[in-house]
Amino acid sequence: MGTVYLHIGVPKTGTTSVQRFLMKNREILEQKGYTYPDFGFLYPGVGPARNAYFVAQTGKENFQDEWADSFRQLERLGKTWDHIILSDEAVWNRQKPPGFWSKVRQKFDEIGLKFHVICYLRRQDTLVESFWNQRVKGKGKMTMPFEEFLIEKYKFMPMAYDEWLDRIVEEGKPDELTIKVFERGQLLGGSVVDDFCDVIGMPVTTEFAMPKDSNSSFDADVVAIKRMINRDRSFQDVYDFYYDATQATYDPGEDRKGPKMSMFSPEGRRAFMAQFEQGNQYVAKKYFGRENGELFYERVEDVPQWEPDAERMLEAAVRVFSGADILLYKRIEELERKMTIMYNSLPARMYRKVRGIEEREDEA
């Protein structure tokens, strides 16, 4: 019986890096007996690397055709492949409706495949901070300040890990469940890609191509500038070239002026984490066998809370807008190059000769 490795997030735990690695190395994966299938469906706002998006839509009436057909394709794949990999962080966020996992379990039973659930847990304060950063910097163009986000938006994300892991076990009854902690010191080689491949029994070797990490969080000053840009109503209707420009020129390792800063105050961070303390200890003991109740090893840092600073904000604005200028310049340069090629092509020259355009150009 074949096994489906269902990688469900949690969001902001390197799922994009894993998905890009799997896409980039599809041929090598298949040589080793693994497949990362493309089911042929395009979902609005969902990249092609997220091939488990249909699982996230379990129970949604408007996705029933895609859901059923994707499982039919999985059944056919199971007759050829012993190892099938699916990945989408949206599964973690969409598991809240009652019966979600029992429906998934039933479907895997029907198609005769085992399913192995894999998830990574990130400390909740860094998760919500990173998620807000992503929503502002990314193409969602969010304008909500962090304090409001904590009150209004983050709660849709299941961060009480004890409750949701127990539901997966009790309701979904996966054939296997692997839970890992998304901290450099708790990942194999400090890499989520290496760690994930180790979980599925396929060590990363030099023959694999490693994709460039292009999903780093921006520092707070850059995010503040991007949030201001997002407020422009006219910007809401155009392609987010500011994101592309900043991402392309951004170096998260570059030295910045001043100390490391957080959107949390030290007191706010401790208060936020206090609500998860008991649940995290439960997970550490039940799922990791750690009697001391330590789930996360990295300490909660008391770093200053971010506040606007004129000099830093000016530097950040220059980085964002110069990045956009460089991106636009490169695109104009590429368009000019293509126009020159088209202008000098044989069909274009023949057209100008027939119309007498070249002679008039020569006279001018």
Q: What local confidence, expressed as pLDDT, does residue 251 receive?
A: 60
Q: Using N-to-C axis directions, what is the helix angle for 64-77 and 100-111, rounded to 10°?
A: 40
- Cβ neighbours of residue 54 closer than 8 Å, sequence gap 6 or more: 39, 41, 63, 66, 67, 70, 71
* Of 106, 107, 108, 126, residue with least CA distance to 116: 108
Q: What is the CATH number of domain 3-123+144-217+279-288?
A: 3.40.50
Bridge partners of 34, per DSSP, are 83
Q: What local confidence, expressed as pLDDT, does residue 90 receive?
A: 94
Q: Reduced to 3 states, what is the DSSP secondary structure of residue 356?
A: coil
Q: What local confidence, expressed as pLDDT, does residue 140 receive?
A: 78
Q: What local confidence, expressed as pLDDT, does residue 355 receive?
A: 72
* Of 191, 247, 255, 228, residue with least CA distance to 13: 191
Q: Reduced to 3 states, what is the DSSP secondary structure of residue 39?
A: coil
Q: Which two tokens stand for residue 63?
A: 């996705």
Q: Which two tokens stand for residue 137?
A: 């910097």
- Cβ neighbours of residue 248 closer than 8 Å, sequence gap 6 or more: 323, 327
Q: What local confidence, expressed as pLDDT, does residue 156 receive?
A: 74
Q: Which two tokens stand for residue 200?
A: 């599925």
Sheet of 34-35: strand order equals 34-35, 83-87, 3-7, 114-121, 176-181
Q: Which helix (H) or strand (E) holds 180?
A: strand 176-181
175-176-181 Cα angle (round to 5): 155
Q: What local confidence, expressed as pLDDT, does residue 345 receive?
A: 85
Q: What local confidence, expressed as pLDDT, does residue 253 receive?
A: 54
- Cβ neighbours of residue 176 closer than 8 Å, sequence gap 6 or more: 3, 114, 116, 117
pLDDT tens, per residue, the chain with 364 residues: 799 999 999 999 999 999 999 999 999 999 999 999 999 998 888 989 999 999 999 999 899 999 999 999 999 999 999 999 999 999 999 999 999 999 999 999 999 999 999 999 999 999 999 999 988 988 778 999 999 998 887 777 899 999 999 999 999 999 999 999 999 999 999 999 999 999 999 999 999 998 876 566 788 898 999 999 999 888 888 888 888 877 776 665 554 545 578 999 999 999 999 999 999 999 999 999 999 999 999 988 788 999 999 999 998 898 888 888 888 888 899 999 999 998 888 787 787 777 776 555 555 5
Q: What local confidence, expressed as pLDDT, does residue 213 receive?
A: 64
